[in-house]
Chains A and B, each alone.
Chain A
Amino acid sequence: MFGGFNPAPGEGESMILALAVVSVLGLAFAAPWLVRRAGNGAGWILAILPAAVTLYLISLLPLAAEGQPAAFSIPWSPELGLFFSFRADGLGLLFALLISGVGTLVVIYAGGYLRGNPDLEKFYAWLLVFMGSMLGLALAENMLLLFMFWELTSISSYMLIGFEHERETARAAAQQAFLITAGGGLVLLAGLLLLGQAGGTLEFSTLLKQDDVIRASPFYLPAVVLILLAAFTKSAQFPFHFWLPNAMEAPTPVSTYLHSATMVKAGVYLLARLGPALNGTDLWLYGVGGIGAATMLLGGYLALQQTDLKRLLAYSTVSALGMLTLLIGLGSPHALQAAVVLLLAHGLYKGALFLVAGALDHETGTRDIMQLGGLFPVMKLTAIGAGLAALSMAGLPPLFGFISKEMSYEVALEFGPWITGAVIFAGLSFVFVAGVTGMGPFWGERKQTTRSPHETPPSMWAGILILATLSLLFGIFPAIISAPLISPAASAAIGEPTDLTLALWHGVNPAFLLSIATVAVGTGLFAARQPLRSGLLRLVWPWGPSFLYDRALGAFNVLARELTRLFQSGYLRYYIMTLMVVATGLVGFTLFTRDGWDFPRGVTDIRFYEVALGALILAAALVATIVQSRLAAVASLGVVGYGVSLIYILYGAPDLAMTQFLIESLTVILFVLAFYHLPQFTQLSSRRSRVRDIGIALLAGGLMTALVLSATGVLFYPSISDYFVENALPLGHGRNIVNVILVDFRAFDTMGEITVLGIAAIGVYVLLKLSAASKSDKTGDAE
């Protein structure tokens, strides 16, 4: 259905682009070995590759700025529209640079933070799997490829959140994040496929040119709804926001990387990526913008109540993600430019603040802001980094966060007072959180902590200072990124070339005045943080989505347990009974409602020996059910089998007859062997259950008879037997048609059958050996 697509000609084919993604995934497999060899220095060594990838991606920026992005494509499964294709346009590069850049720092940082952790090998392996998948997600050009990487990030995120799997809370948080994001992933697949149907291709760059066709397509509505659901789950938008704060159970490097800088932005990235093809409708404006605004307000509000450093940052991240979503939903060129700038600014300052939270936790043993204070003298470098990041988050000049906030305010003012009010509220919350997390722990009165803190090792302060310095550098000299990085990214999000010049100083305008007011009021809130928090805590609302999630999960478990108890009794007789009743019911229903009964009428030409044989088989079958001896029952069953073989011979099927004879004989052997282990024959079942069994047996047998009789009267297609008869010798080189069918014409079926046979044999073997082992365990008999 998407088979006609070929990559657009003229774009530079860059094998290294694909290699950049694959090599990081490959390094994940080498990581355990490297960690074992290099010990505590492993972080520095493992960071070499991400650093190299970062440099390589920077070298691709000029291509993207010229509108000729590096690309790579080889067919994977072209019939499905699946290509292994990557494309490094502005938006993809911006996101990929965040991933590889912050990733490099986090890899180094984790070496210090998790020093001596026995599971460090596993940690690095999963962290690199995540990094590779995330890079793939950012650079994927094919939507199915993007989906695969999307799900890979969910899986690796599950492993990373649950890294400290001895703690139940960590396991629960990992499960919650996984169920929500992977569930969103499933929805995403459906949405992307619908979108592909609407646009006729699964490649982003071609698809985005079909925007008018897509908006007019009947698939537009379902596709957008599904894709939005996926993006909202991944980017922790209301009402799925609650998994993100809970995911703070992860080690801090993971929170920094996955839950502030990269993974949670994947949903936002997808929205920005698809915006050019999907935005401009009311659904987009109110769906994306509305949810974004709600999330922004909710996250900003909930952040005010928190006392745990990481949860504070997490709620404020939810708020920032909401703001990004809001800007993308508004969809104007200005809004998209602001979104791109916020994406970068937030990644820099929030990443740094998370690393600071980890450093504080590492040195003092607590993340509670009530117990932290006055640490500047002992942790000067960390404090400087934290201060710079906090100033950027609060939106103060000359930091990059100031530029970002000015742009957001300008956009908000364009869209009227409601949006402006909401954005200002989020801005206030940002100032508050920046103060509490970046300033509070380092200034004021020194408080006693369980550990005596000192400066973190270089592996840890390096990341904090680099990210903080970048915030400062980009703030003072925005020109170094505006033309090569921000403009191409904004162009990709808008869908047409745009030239954006960032400047620190915009003059005194309404946005600037609002900015000053925000900082002033926010600082006031920060100063009054104690009474504010205790006031807000009285307003906690217990019936939120998190509560509903817990209830739903609990109900689901109960349902699963009850279903299992109902259907998995562990008794063979009930399984057989269920199979028989269900099959008889369904087949009977279909036959009855579709008028499938068609008995052959006026059958003549019945010979006496056929009648005799039939009577013999019936009599033997009856005897098998009533005799009081197992051996007699088996013998009568044997008579039934041999009788059927005789019928085969009468109607000219010696092959079948012979196989039937052999099977009957072997069955008798098997039965004899099995009887050897059985207790004496006794009548255990009650009269009632025997009557029930008779009923089921009669129903199943009667239906089967009716089915066979009806089947003889139905001929849908010309029989294929003639083909087999004619071609067995010329094509199959055999005169035994049955065998030719088995091993040649229908060999694939036979292949499946012998595989099933093999599996069944292993199953029987295991069952017998297991029951023997458990028996000898019970009797304490060591054989």
Chain B
Amino acid sequence: MTSLILRTTARYLTPLLLLFSVFLFWRGHNQPGGGFAGGLVAAVPFALFSIAFGAAEARRILHVETHVLIATGLLTALVSGVLSLFAGDPFLTSRWGSLRLPGFPAVDVGTPVLFDLGVYLVVIGVTLSIIFALEETE
């Protein structure tokens, strides 16, 4: 599938969609969004790339194996849950702290954010793994 329009669009949309996905992920705790939606949006540019330029090219710009993404995501989620065990709390008990950067309002940061990051990575990995595999099956 070679289409000039698709190729051009894919190039321009990629950074925008990635930024949008990070935005979705970050605001997710207070407004619509979150790891799942963010992960889906993050997968879209690579899916577009894979259609426009082929899976090999999409894999190249992704830099990471999709299976590694899945594994890393699962591990991240697991770690976020295990952290509370060290404090003697049950698995997945959330722990929160406040992050203050000069010039920004204080942000609450906790293990659920880490968990959400895990979801984000798994969703990207799963979506792309299937799409790439389909694309590569000739």
Q: Residues on A close to B: CB < 8 A?
A: 654-655, 658-659, 662-663, 665-666, 669-670, 672-674, 676-677, 731-736, 738-740, 742-744, 747-748, 750-751, 754-755, 757-758, 760-762, 764-765, 768-769, 771-772
Contact B131 A673 (CB under 8 A): yes
Size of interface on B: residues with Cβ below 8 Å to A: 52
User: Can you spell out 19 A-B residue pairs with CB atoms less than 8 angstroms apart?
Assistant: A655-B34, A658-B37, A659-B36, A666-B40, A735-B31, A743-B29, A743-B119, A751-B77, A754-B73, A754-B77, A757-B126, A758-B122, A758-B125, A761-B125, A764-B129, A765-B67, A765-B129, A769-B133, A772-B137
A758 neighbours in B (Cβ, 8 Å): 70-71, 73-74, 122, 125-126
**Nearest-CB distance from A663 to chain B (Å)?**
7
Residues of A within 8 A of B91 (CB): 748
> A residues within 8 A CB of B92?
747-748, 751
Q: Which residues of A contact B10 (CB under 8 A)?
A: none
A101 to B8, CA, bound (A): 81
Bound: A758/B71 CA distance, A? 8
Contacts of A754 in B (CB 8 A): 73-74, 77, 118-119, 122-123
Given known A-B contacts A736-B29, A768-B137, A666 and B127 have beta carbons under 8 A apart:
yes
Complex contacts, B73 vs chain A, CB 8 Å: 754, 758
* Known A-B contacts A757-B122, A757-B126; A736 and B40 likewise in contact (beta carbons under 8 Å): no
Beyond A677-B134, A733-B110, A750-B77, 7 additional contacts (C-beta under 8 Å) are A662-B40, A736-B34, A750-B115, A751-B77, A751-B92, A757-B123, A758-B125
Asked if A654 and B70 make an inter-chain contact with CB atoms under 8 angstroms apart, the answer reads no
The reply to whether B137 and A771 form a contact with Cβ atoms under 8 Å apart is yes
B112 and A747 within 8 A (CB): yes
Q: How far is the CA of A613 from the CA of B127 in the complex (A)?
A: 30
Q: Which residue of B lies closest to A659 (CB)?
A: B37
**Top 7 closest pairs, chain A to chain B, by CB:** A734-B29, A761-B126, A662-B40, A735-B30, A739-B34, A743-B112, A754-B122
Are the CB atoms of B43 and A666 closer together than 8 Å?
Answer: yes
Contact flag A654-B32 (CB < 8 Å), given A669-B51, A733-B108, A764-B129 = yes
- CB-CB under 8 A from A748, the residues of chain B are 81, 91-92
Contact B130 A742 (CB under 8 A): no
A670/B44 in contact, CB under 8 A: no
Let me know if A761 and B70 touch, CB within 8 A.
yes
> Of A731, A739, A768, which is within 8 A of B28 by CB?
A739
> Is the Cβ of A655 less than 8 Å from the Cβ of B40?
no
Do B37 and A665 touch across chains, with their CB atoms under 8 A apart?
A: no
Residue of B nearest to A672 (CB): B51
B12 within 8 A of A: no
Quick check: A742 and B36 within 8 Å, CB to CB? yes
- Residues of the A chain whose Cβ atoms lie less than 8 Å from the Cβ of B41: 662
A630 → B minimal CB distance (Å): 15
A659 proximity list for chain B (CB < 8 A): 36-37, 40
Closest to A750 in B: B119
Q: Which chain A residues lie closer than 8 Å to B96 at the CB level?
A: 733
Determine which of B33, B44, B137, B138 lies in contact with A736 in the assembled complex, contact meaning CB atoms within 8 Å: B33
On chain B, the residues within 8 Å of A744 by CB distance are 94, 112, 115
Residues of B94-137 at the interface with A, using a CB-CB cut-off of 8 Å, are: 94, 96, 108, 110, 112-113, 115-116, 118-119, 122-123, 125-127, 129-131, 133-137
Query: Which one of B32, B43, B129 contacts A655 once the chains associate, using CB atoms below 8 Å?
Result: B32
Interface string of B61-81 (1 = CB under 8 A from A): 000001100110110011001
A673 to B132, CA, bound (A): 10
Shortest CB–CB separation between residue B107 and chain A, in angstroms?
10
Which residue in chain A gives the minimum CB-CB distance to B115? A743
Q: Which residues on B sit within 8 Å (CB–CB) of A655?
A: 32-34, 37
Interface contact A755-B116, CB-CB below 8 Å = no
Q: Is the CB of A666 within 8 A of B44?
A: yes
Are A755 and B40 within 8 A (Cβ)? no
**B47, A743: Cβ atoms under 8 Å?**
no
Within 8 A of A (CB), among B19-37: 28-37
B29 touches A673 (CB 8 A): no
**CA gap between A760 and B44 in the complex, in Å:** 19
A731 proximity list for chain B (CB < 8 A): 94
Cβ contacts under 8 Å, B137 to chain A: 677, 768-769, 771-772
Q: Which of A732, A735, A761 lies in contact with B130, CB distance below 8 A?
A: A761
CB–CB A658/B32 < 8 A: yes
Report the Cα distance A755→B125, complex, angstroms: 12
Most buried by B among A758, A769, A772: A758
Q: How far is the CB of B11 from chain A (nearest CB, A)?
A: 17
List chain A residues, Cβ under 8 A from B40.
Answer: 659, 662-663, 666
- CB of B99, distance to nearest CB on chain A (Å): 12
Distance of A754 Cα from B36 Cα, bound (Å)? 10
- Closest Cβ of chain A: how far from B102's Cβ, in Å? 22
The residue in chain A whose Cβ has the minimal distance to the Cβ of B135 is A673
CB contacts (< 8 Å) of A670 on chain B: these are 130-131, 134
Q: How far is the CB of A647 from chain B (nearest CB, A)?
A: 16
Residues in A whose Cβ lies below 8 Å from that of B127: 666
Contact A743 B35, beta carbon cutoff 8 Å? yes
**Among A662, A732, A760, which residue has its beta carbon within 8 angstroms of that of B94?**
A732
Chain A residue at minimum C-beta to C-beta distance from B71: A758
A400: min CB distance to chain B, Å:
58
- B46 CB to closest chain A CB (Å) equals 11
Residues of chain B lying within 8 A (CB to CB) of residue A734: 29-30, 112
- Report the Cα distance A670→B47, complex, angstroms: 9
A757 CA to B91 CA, complexed, in Å:
21
Measured CB to CB, the closest approach of chain A to B49, in angstroms, equals 12
Q: How far, in Å, is B133 (CB) from chain A's closest CB? A: 4
Query: How long is the Cα–Cα vector from A744 to B137 in the complex, in angstroms?
Result: 39
CA of A676 to CA of B54 in the docked complex: distance in angstroms? 13
Q: How far is the CA of A762 from the CA of B126 in the complex (A)?
A: 8
